[in-house]
Amino acid sequence: MNPPSAQFVLPRRMGMYEPFHQIGTWAQNLKATDDSVASASLIVEVDTKLDNQSEDTSHGTLGTPNKYDQEASKPFDKIQRRLAQNREAARKSRLRKKAYVQQLETSRLKLIQIEKELDRARQQGVYTGGGAESSHLGFSGSVNTGITAFEMEYGHWVEEQDRQILDLRTALQAHISDAELRILVQNGMNHYSTLFHMKANAAKADVFYVMSGMWKTSSERFFLWIGGFRPSELLKVLVPQLDTLTDHQLFEICNLRQSCQQAEDALSQGMERLQQTVSETVSGGRLGEGSNIAQIAPAVEQLEALISFVKQADHIRKETLNQMPRILTIRQTARGLLALGEYFQRLRALSSLWSDRPCETT
C-alpha cells in the first residue's frame, strides 16, 4: 500500500489532534527504512561479487590471483550468517514500513470521521462559531481557526468525560480501595482543568463565542453564567447527592457556597459596569449619521476586559472543585464528581428531547 498523499495531513487550523503531528516523523522513518534496505542490498551485492571474483581467480581468469585470497578464504558459514542477517534486516524494514503506512491510513480515516461529525454538528445548529455573525463582524481567519479547534477539542472532552463517569460509577459499585479511587478522582479534576485551559484559549480568539455558550447545548445555555456553570447553584445540586455529611462538613460547604456567591456577585457587578461603559462609548457623539469607526474604536479595547471576566469565572469554578477533596472524604468526592458529570449528561439529554419533541402546527 502506498503512503497517503500530503492532502491527508491535518490542517494547521485543526492541528491539535496529536497523531497527525507524527506524519513528518513517520516520513523520516520511512526514508531511514529505505536507506537501511538499500544498505542491506548493497552488502549482499558486494558479497556476491566477491564470491564470483574469488571463484574466477581460482580458475586463473583474473590477472591478479592474490587480490581476493583473504576474502575467498573466509569460512562459508560466516558468509551465510551475514547474508541471513541482511535478509532479516530487510524483512524487519518491510514490516516497519508496512506498519507506518497502516498508521497513516488509520489517521486519515479518523480525520475524515471527525470532519464529518463536525459538519453534521454545524448543520444541526449545535455549533455556530465562526458563522455568519463572525464573517459580518470581519473576524480574521485565525479567529475561526481557533474556534474550530476548540469545537473539536470540546467534542473529545465530552467523550472522555463520559468514559470517566462510567469508570467512577463502576469503581464505586465495586468498592475499590481508596488509593485506586483517588487516582480516578484526580483524573476527573485534571479533566475539568483541561476544559478551563481550552476555554481560555478560545476566549482569546472570540470571547463572545465563549460567553454566549454556543459550544454548549440549549438546555445548558439556559443555566449559563459567564461561559459556564454557576458554582454556588451547582453546590445546591451536589450536596443532596452525597453520602451522609457531618455537621462540620455541612458548615464548610455552607461557607464555600457563601464565598462563591460573593465572588459571583462581584463579577456580575463588574460585567454590568463594563456593559454601561461600552454602551456609553458606542452611543457617544451624534447618532443618525451612520457608523463612526473613530468613535467606537475605543470600545474594542474596553471589550478586552471580557477575556479577564471569563478567566476569573473559570477560576471560581476551578477553586470550588478543588475544595471538594478538602471538605469531603475521597469516596464522597468521587460521588460528587459522578453526580456532577451525570447532571451535565442529563442537561444534554434534555436538549435532545426538546429538539425532538413533536411540534404542534397551527
Mean of the pLDDT values across residues 260-280? 93
Up-side HSE of residue 333: CA atoms within 13 Å toward CB?
Answer: 21
Q: What is the DSSP letter of 15?
A: T
The pLDDT assigned to 287 comes to: 64
In one letter, which amino acid is 224? L
pLDDT digits (tens, 9 = 90+) for 212-232: 988 899 999 999 999 999 999
In one letter, which amino acid is 346? R
What is the separation of C-alpha 105 from the centre of its chain, rounded to a whole number of angstroms?
Answer: 20
Least confident of 99-103, 148-152, 302-306, 334-338: 99-103
Mean of the pLDDT values across residues 36-61? 44
Q: What is the DSSP string of 269-331?
A: HHHHHHHHHHHHHHH-S-SSS---HHHHHHHHHHHTHHHHHHHHHHHHHHHHHHHHHHHS-HH
Nearest to 234 by CA among 92, 337, 105: 337
* This model's pTM is above 0.85: no
Mean of the pLDDT values across residues 15-22? 38
Angle between helices 141-174 and 178-205 (to 10 degrees): 170
Residue 196's pLDDT band (cuts 50, 70, 90): very high
Helix extents (H) in 175-246: 178-205, 207-212, 218-222, 231-238
Q: Are 350 and 219 in contact (CB under 8 A)?
A: yes
> Which residue has better confidence, 29 or 30?
29
Q: What are phi and psi of 66, to 5 degrees?
A: -100, 5
Residue 90's pLDDT band (cuts 50, 70, 90): confident
Q: Are 351 and 201 in contact (CB under 8 A)?
A: no
Q: Are 341 and 165 in contact (CB under 8 A)?
A: yes
Mean pLDDT, the chain, whole residue set? 76
Q: Are 201 and 150 in contact (CB under 8 A)?
A: yes
The pLDDT assigned to 297 comes to: 79
Residue 74's pLDDT band (cuts 50, 70, 90): low
- Rounded Cα distance, 21 and 93, in Å: 23
pLDDT at 3 exceeding the cut of 60: no
Q: Are 188 and 168 in contact (CB under 8 A)?
A: yes
- Rounded Cα distance, 317 and 309, in Å: 12
Contacts made by residues 185-191, CB under 8 angstroms, sequence distance 24+? 185/325, 185/330, 185/333, 185/334, 185/337, 188/164, 188/337, 188/341, 189/321, 189/322, 189/325, 189/337, 191/157, 191/160, 191/161, 191/164
Query: What is the grid cell recorded at 177?
Result: 480501595
User: Residue 58 contacts by C-beta under 8 Å, 6 or more apart in sequence?
Assistant: 72
Least confident of 95-99, 241-245, 272-276: 95-99
The pLDDT assigned to 144 comes to: 67
Other residues' Cβ atoms within 10 Å of the Cβ of residue 139: 18
